[in-house]
Structure 1
Amino acid sequence: MTQPPQPPNEPPQGGFGAPQDPPPGGFGAPTPPPSDGFSKQPPAAPPAAPPTPPAGGYGSPPPPPAGGYGAPQPPPGGYGTPQTPPGQPPQNPAYGYPQAPPPGQPGYGFPQGPPPGQPGMPPQQGYGYPTAPMQPQYLAPQPGGNGGKKFSTQMQIIVAAVVAVVLIVGGGVIYASSSGDDGGKKDEASSAGTNGGEGKGGEGSGLGGGSEKAPADIKSKVGFQLPQPKVTDTTTVTGSWLTDKAFVKTGVYEIAGYDPAKGTKLWSIPLPGQLCAASRHMSKDFKTAIVFEEGKPTKADKYPSCNQVGALDLNTGKLMWSKSVTSSSSGDEPIRFSEVTLSGTTVAAGGTSGGAAFNLATGAELWRPKTDTNGCYDKGYGGGEALAVVRKCGTYDAPQLTIQALNPATGAPLSSYNMPAGVEYASIVSTKPLVVAADVGDTAGDGSGISDFFSINAATGKLIVRISADADKYAGRCGSTEVETCQSLAVGGNKLYVPTEEHEGGGEYGDTNEIVAFDLATGKLVGGKADAGDRYTLTPLRMDGTNVIAYKEPPYDKGGQIVSIDGSTFKETVLMENPSDEAVRDAETGFSGYYAEYIYDKGRLFISEKMISEPRESTLDDKQYLVVSFTTG
């Protein structure tokens, strides 16, 4: 599970950086698209992301669709073997199907691909926002990381072929050119995550096979595009949601609603400071929660504190309420929050200096986590259909993480599960069923934050099964410091859907991958898999009833696709195929998986950035987009 380049280290005081004042006028009106939907200028390059480490609640994306290294020749052996609790027979599923590999043979490990989203970011992605559409919301850059997007086998071959064709002119001057390609979930309502936002039809939705149907014509056209606002520093713009009236996106010192079809601005909510975090979940009447800075940077205070919690009405464009709360352990100092989530009518915000929960409609404080002499605190919360927390106790050298299911109204623990020793960080993939991801003993080795998944009984706190997820075989990504930023994962029908790492396909060149599923009761790989097809890469965005909505990152000469995957048979139905025109294709693939949010709903796809920065001098003439949308309508 390879990690993409990460955003710069967070500044002191928990701030997200020191964004500069935007140019007068903020976003301004969206640019009307030319006849082909895009300018014929060179494709916009994604903003550079300094090393370091998740819509964000941001889908949420999930490792985004992107090209990976060429895969090694597969040795015989099983695809992956989930671990089981003591007393259960070991499970040895083969590649995509439960079978035991020959003794001594290692599983086929695929090298992993880059993040989707800002794409690149991605994904993120799974239960929760695509920063590749991928979360719908999922979502947001996570801390930690070991480099940028990998140079795919496909690209290596293409570049090699082009460079090999040289023209020797006159006294031996060689001219050569190169070319290449750049590169889920349940909730009360549709929102964004890697992988975009939460999607309609999660666990218990009663939608059965899902509500998304293929249109008469799957060929899409460009809906609208919004140019990136000008900034002078790296600025977070995590947060995108889709309601029945508006597509809503975080900008610079504002959150704005746009007509989903035309892209015209409907309303704008000004913020006193820059947004720090946004819930990937929405209520059924399209309300959500955010955290933002107390003010704009000044010479005296370059990094304003992220201590303001607020609730938004996404249909009317109103900031319903906002407030700060003081910490019981730090006198009058307001609590600094690093993430926020929503479950029912409860807004829960957390951070290293404390946490608190509020009523969504009124802002009334509901509860705060209890403090004790062991230095315990709530690291962060996972929302959606239920509420869960990752609670950290112990010392820096010997931390103890506990996963608790909570009563949203009172904060009282309903159950507790102690994570094994060696776990410093844990992420909540889903709250119903309760699924947690962790990098046990830092064994993943790729910055993805995932070596194992834990399926937990939320009623009793007992471990149902622990699933080993070899980072060389499976893709997906979770943040280390944030609890609800997993991408490129989806949970539904008591199954966990995970993309494999990219590997060589069956064609002459080009990488591909699959989506497989683990049974959350047994930890076994269920029979079957969804194939991306040669030169495409599949990333789960969200659940749609018992189906999986996924994004197919395209090869260099095609447009991307949205597909619905039957959760039992893995049969794929194409819902959308984007244009393959060069200008449109460049705009679509200009987003980087893990750093982008993908939202798909009823024939409309929205891809947006999670983070923007000052353009590099070499890209000043390139067209860079905050949002690009496609529609089959």
Structure 2
Amino acid sequence: MSFGPPPSIYTQSALSADTARKRRRTKLLGAVAVITALALGGGGWLFASGDDSDPVDARRTVAQSPDAVRETTEQVPASPEGRLMLEHDEENLARTNDASPRYAPGTWATDKVMVKGVANRLEGYNIALDADEKAWTLKLPGHLCATSRHVTADGRTAVVVQPPQPKGSEKDGVCDQVVFFDLNTGKKLWQKKMPAAGSAFVTNTNLTLTKGVVAVAWGQGSVAYDMKSGKQLWNSTLGSECEDKAFAGGRALLSLLSCGSVPDVTFRVQKLDPRTGKARWSYKVAAGIQTVYLPSSDPPVLAVAAGDSEVTDLISLDAAGKHRTTIALNGYEAKCGERYFGLSFFGEYESCDGVVVGRTQAFVTSKENIATGQPSNWIVAFDLATGKTVGKFDGRELQKVHPLRMSGDDLLIYRRGAGVVAPAAVVRWNPRTDRETPLLLFTLPEDDDGELSDPEQSDILFQQGRAFFGKRELVADDKYPTDGVLMALAVGSAGLKH
């Protein structure tokens, strides 16, 4: 496997939006209003599962420290009718194609901005209706190499970048710079050079955040930094039989270690003290596993590919790193490592788009069902202690569902739209009562719906009553190669103050 950069050179910064975007924005706003009115006026079909106007999550919300990884719960809006908040086109894509796209890894959101990584820059877009579209631009010292979905409670995150080097030089393609920045302001808080990172590339560099700590692993080394100061806390380098391949962050810090060499590689998972890097426990994964992903650090859950490249099982561990249960995923799609056509770009080991893990349950997406008159797919809840199924959320015919994240003990779900028949929706599902609560109804631009609604192609976020969509690869239109391409879109509730 090559450990060099992606097969394309990122192009220049985006220009301002043109009149084509304004025309599409008007069209989308009209479609949202019409289709939502139909949904709300047609017998209240979307509310068939009941109105959860007294959310348990809101009462359980606990204030987090600023450097903890953000965990937010969602309130039920006064109205679920969607309103377009933001639509941003990326410009100057005339020379891009499917084989050589402009990469746009990383999508984040706060109550003020949507932030998108693209090429060698980060851009913040205002989501207030009366504000200018662009909030800020942070030019990076190289192309993006790794991002993390994690954000601190006060709105900070990190990226790894690839500084430009002379072509053919020893450091050409090396990703050895960590940048920690503020999402709301675009201010770079610190930048550090990773030690002994000559083998860190876009194909093997993985980044995560846990409380007060930024951690990076690249297979032949790893390093952790203090969030506040950027001070290096610990690092590992070549020389050990087992090497840090990736980390999983959030409430805790897990390390995935690969031991030995191909074809006799084995894996271990360790829980680390984030401040020292010392292992608190270690779990040895059975031999014969091809790949291990880490969809959750606390509770610790592994997604493993046994004898195959696709994930075949989830393994639930207890707080001491002991095996609890194994959940076979026959008929399910964990969607681990399936971004970028299965290429290991921009960090993949925490990215299982078909799995969301709560405190006591794992929610997994089924394979697509093509039978007429039946749901296109569904989401099943598995008990992490027993492995038994404890709930099921059905999609609809032609409307697939995708798990997004937990909101307290409830699951947030994105349900794709069906043209003029039914709007897209973000709903909150209580697996204990099987109650579904609509949070947002909207429609997406027809030409971009397929890509925006596909978690393998776009980031889909829901934060503080708003849905955010960010494409990961940008390609010029064959018919109109000089036109801008939709990259970022945000929809908010008409019942929220913006």
- Quick one: which of 2, 10, 14 aligns to 1:27? 14
Deviations 1:519-553 (A, max 9, x none): 00001111x31111222111000000011111001
Q: Is the 8 A contact 1:189 1:286 kept in 2?
A: no
Counterpart of 2:137 in structure 1 is 268
The yes-or-no answer on 1:421 pairing with 2:279 is no
The yes-or-no answer on 1:200 pairing with 2:190 is no
Residues 26-35 or 419-428, more deviating: 26-35
Instruction: Extract structure 1 runs of 4+ deviating beyond 4 A.
Output: 30-33, 186-190, 296-303, 333-337, 370-373
Deviations 1:264-307 (A, max 9, x none): 11111101211111111111111111101112775879953211
Counterpart of 2:234 in structure 1 is 367
Counterpart of 2:313 in structure 1 is 452
The separation in 1 between residues aligned to 2:483 and 2:200, in whole angstroms, is 41
Q: Is the 8 A contact 1:548 1:564 kept in 2?
A: yes
The separation in 2 between residues aligned to 1:304 and 1:624, in whole angstroms, is 27
Q: Is the 8 A contact 2:86 2:126 kept in 1?
A: no
Change (3 A) 1:274 1:406: same
The separation in 1 between residues aligned to 2:63 and 2:165, in whole angstroms, is 33
- Quick one: which of 161, 165, 168 aligns to 1:292? 161
Measured after TM superposition, the shift of residue 261 of structure 1 is 2.8
The separation in 2 between residues aligned to 1:495 and 1:625, in whole angstroms, is 36
Q: TM-score, normalised by structure 1?
A: 0.64
Counterpart of 2:411 in structure 1 is 548
Q: In structure 1, the residue corresponding to 2:276 is in which secondary structure?
A: coil
Counterpart of 1:243 in structure 2 is 110
Deviations 1:573-606 (A, max 9, x none): 11111137xxx33333342431100111233111
Q: Is the 8 A contact 1:605 1:631 kept in 2?
A: yes
Q: Is the 8 A contact 2:91 2:484 kept in 1?
A: no
Change (3 A) 1:544 1:394: same
Q: Is the 8 A contact 2:199 2:218 kept in 1?
A: no
1:527-566 to structure 2, matched below 5 A, reads 528-557=391-420, 558-566=422-430
Deviations 1:237-270 (A, max 9, x none): 1111112322111123210111123461111110
Measured after TM superposition, the shift of residue 424 of structure 1 is 2.6
Aligned-partner residue type, residue 410 of structure 2:
N
Change (3 A) 1:253 1:296: farther
The separation in 2 between residues aligned to 1:561 and 1:251, in whole angstroms, is 27
1:149-548 to structure 2, matched below 5 A, reads 200-201=71-72, 210-213=73-76, 215-231=77-93, 232=95, 233-262=100-129, 264-295=133-164, 304-327=173-196, 333=198, 335-336=200-201, 338-369=205-236, 372=239, 374=241, 376-442=242-308, 449-459=310-320, 461-470=321-330, 473-479=331-337, 482-504=348-370, 507=373, 512-526=376-390, 528-548=391-411
Q: Is the 8 A contact 1:27 1:251 kept in 2?
A: no
Measured after TM superposition, the shift of residue 612 of structure 1 is 2.0
Q: Is the 8 A contact 1:326 1:334 kept in 2?
A: no
Q: Is the 8 A contact 2:92 2:484 kept in 1?
A: no
The yes-or-no answer on 1:617 pairing with 2:475 is no
Change (3 A) 1:276 1:235: farther
Q: Is the 8 A contact 1:358 1:366 kept in 2?
A: yes
The separation in 2 between residues aligned to 1:347 and 1:378, in whole angstroms, is 15
The separation in 1 between residues aligned to 2:105 and 2:166, in whole angstroms, is 19
Q: In structure 1, the residue corresponding to 2:251 is in which secondary structure?
A: coil
The separation in 1 between residues aligned to 2:334 and 2:65, in whole angstroms, is 23
Q: Is the 8 A contact 1:307 1:334 kept in 2?
A: no
The separation in 1 between residues aligned to 2:168 and 2:270, in whole angstroms, is 42
The yes-or-no answer on 1:599 pairing with 2:433 is no
Aligned-partner residue type, residue 34 of structure 1:
K
Measured after TM superposition, the shift of residue 505 of structure 1 is 5.4
Change (3 A) 1:211 1:555: closer
Aligned-partner residue type, residue 475 of structure 1:
E
Aligned-partner residue type, residue 514 of structure 1:
W
Counterpart of 1:105 in structure 2 is none
Q: TM-score, normalised by structure 2?
A: 0.81
Q: In structure 2, the residue corresponding to 1:28 is in which secondary structure?
A: coil
The separation in 1 between residues aligned to 2:137 and 2:255, in whole angstroms, is 32
Measured after TM superposition, the shift of residue 309 of structure 1 is 1.3
Identity over aligned pairs, percent: 28
Q: Is the 8 A contact 1:276 1:293 kept in 2?
A: yes
Measured after TM superposition, the shift of residue 18 of structure 1 is 3.8
Change (3 A) 1:547 1:352: same
Q: Is the 8 A contact 1:274 1:296 kept in 2?
A: no
The separation in 2 between residues aligned to 1:618 and 1:301, in whole angstroms, is 41
The separation in 2 between residues aligned to 1:345 and 1:620, in whole angstroms, is 44
Q: Is the 8 A contact 1:497 1:516 kept in 2?
A: yes
The separation in 1 between residues aligned to 2:403 and 2:281, in whole angstroms, is 29
Please tell me the root mean square deviation across aligned C-alpha atoms, in Å: 2.9
